[in-house]
Amino acid sequence: MKLGIIADDFTGASDIAGFLALGGLKTIMYNGVPTQEPPVDIDAVVISLKIRSCAPGRAVDEALASLAFLRQWGCTKYYYKYCSTFDSTSEGNIGPVVDALMDALGVEQTIICPALPVNGRTVCHGYLFVGSDLLSDSPMRHHPITPMRESKLARLMEGQGRGSACHIFHETVGAGVGAVRAQLERIKQTGFRYIVFDTLDDEDLAVIAEATDEMVLVTGGSGLAIGITEVLNRTHGISRDEGSAFTPLVHPAVIISGSCSAQTNIQVAHYRNLAPSRRIEEEAALTSPADHAADLASWVLAHNDGPYAPLLSATRSAEELEENRTRYGNADVSAAIETVVAQVVKSLYAGGIRTFISAGGETSGVVATTLGLEAYLIGPQIDPGVSWLKAGDSILQVAFKSGNFGSDDFFAKAQAMCRQG
């Protein structure tokens, strides 16, 4: 095993698994800490957790359990994968998990590299950008669980972690691997715990990956995996193979959208012009979740005979989210909706649905957990950062989309790939 990845949510795990497979690494993805030995011919293991927004203590415990599994089976390089928009609160969970992994591995420094240029996530002068906007000016500032109102990665890490952060400017990254390695050597003497990299394009990712090839622990978004696969292809004799492990096929399907990101709002609006859709209602989720779930599941099964799968959506605009906060106060609307989604998924699987497309990390986590998925084959990439996944030897196939990822027609595009198969 050349690489062990601990991912903080399900969409992020499938995101990085897709890039690793696309880069030629034989990759297996697990839902939660595995209880089985990984296949002997695997290059990379991805462990998908649901720790992005839980209590920091639980996040640390699950990350350390994942690390123990990877160490048990001979992993030599570890990668903590979080979102390219650094989704977290002022308490964590990125900082506490990074610190815990560093302590367990006995390393004094690691890198902070959330960039994913192919999807518009770049770092310049230490500030994280979403497209042309600072993270704090992007729609992520309205995220209902992890609103991002700071863009300076060093400040974000220092607020959550136990050490100080420094920064390697693009001038150094652009000068190549040698320049970066020389700067890293100088930083070793300074006592900085976290090293933030400017990253503007995939070429920068390749430089950073090669310069940090000997680091036991790296952290970042899925973009760094693009650089790591290039390094492994070039320096470790792995041949690049863009073939996927399976071809998605047409099966009874449903789309469940829980993300409230700006991009998912666009995708939901686009798809509603093509297919039947229903809202997952906050009031019903809070007052009568079982009845609401039963009604939604029956509706999906009754509308599964068209060219496109029916859509269930808890996606809301920023204005609607603000209205909900005023209307429901301290009520945990997100938890209530997750309860409904879990019951719907269970009923739909019993009713014969075998393709689940979900939008949003929390929603995808509920889908995966409810279906009891343990391990996945990695299929073709639908859009950068989103691949089809298949549950072992079954016909059950899923696509877990991070809220901000995917083209406007993502939901239709994913199903078109099945028809081609």
Mean pLDDT (whole number) for 190-208: 96
Helix (H) or strand (E) holding 227: helix 223-235
Position 330 scores a pLDDT of 78
Please check whether residue 225 is in contact with residue 201, taking contact to mean a CB–CB distance below 8 angstroms: no
Where are the domain boundaries for CATH 3.40.50.10840 in the chain? 3-235
Helix (H) or strand (E) holding 233: helix 223-235
Phi, psi of 404 (to 5 degrees): -90, 0
Position 421 scores a pLDDT of 53
DSSP label at 337? Answer: H
pLDDT-derived band at 238 (thresholds 50, 70, 90) equals low
Candidate from 18-22, 249-253, 264-268 with smallest mean pLDDT? 18-22
Contacts (Cβ under 8 Å, ≥6 apart) of 194: 98, 109, 110, 111, 112, 154, 157, 158, 161, 163, 164, 165, 166
Sign, Cα dihedral of 153, 159, 160, 161: positive
Where are the domain boundaries for CATH 3.40.980.20 in the chain? 253-420
**Tokens 């972690």 identify what position?**
161
Contacts (Cβ under 8 Å, ≥6 apart) of 98: 80, 110, 157, 161, 194, 219
Whether the pLDDT of residue 237 is over 80: the answer is no
Position 42 scores a pLDDT of 86
Whether the pLDDT of residue 244 is over 90: the answer is no
Mean pLDDT (whole number) for 362-366: 90
Whether the pLDDT of residue 292 is over 80: the answer is yes
Mean pLDDT (whole number) for 98-125: 97
Closest CA to 153 of 222, 200, 86, 224: 86
Contacts (Cβ under 8 Å, ≥6 apart) of 177: 207, 210, 211
Mean pLDDT (whole number) for 271-298: 97
Q: What is the DSSP string of 297-324?
A: HHHHHHT-SSSS--EEE----HHHHHHH
Indicate the class that CATH gives domain 3-235.
Answer: alpha beta
Whether the pLDDT of residue 239 is over 90: the answer is no
Q: What is the dotted CATH code of the domain comprising 253-420?
A: 3.40.980.20
Which of 20-29, 40-49, 176-185 shows the highest mean pLDDT?
176-185
pLDDT-derived band at 274 (thresholds 50, 70, 90) equals very high
Higher-pLDDT residue of 331 and 106 is 106
- Annotate 350-403 with three-state secondary structure: HCCCCEEEEECHHHHHHHHHHHCCCEEEEEEEEECCEEEEEECCCCCEEEEECC
Position 150 scores a pLDDT of 97
Whether the pLDDT of residue 86 is over 60: the answer is yes
Whether the pLDDT of residue 131 is over 60: the answer is yes
Average pLDDT for the chain: 93
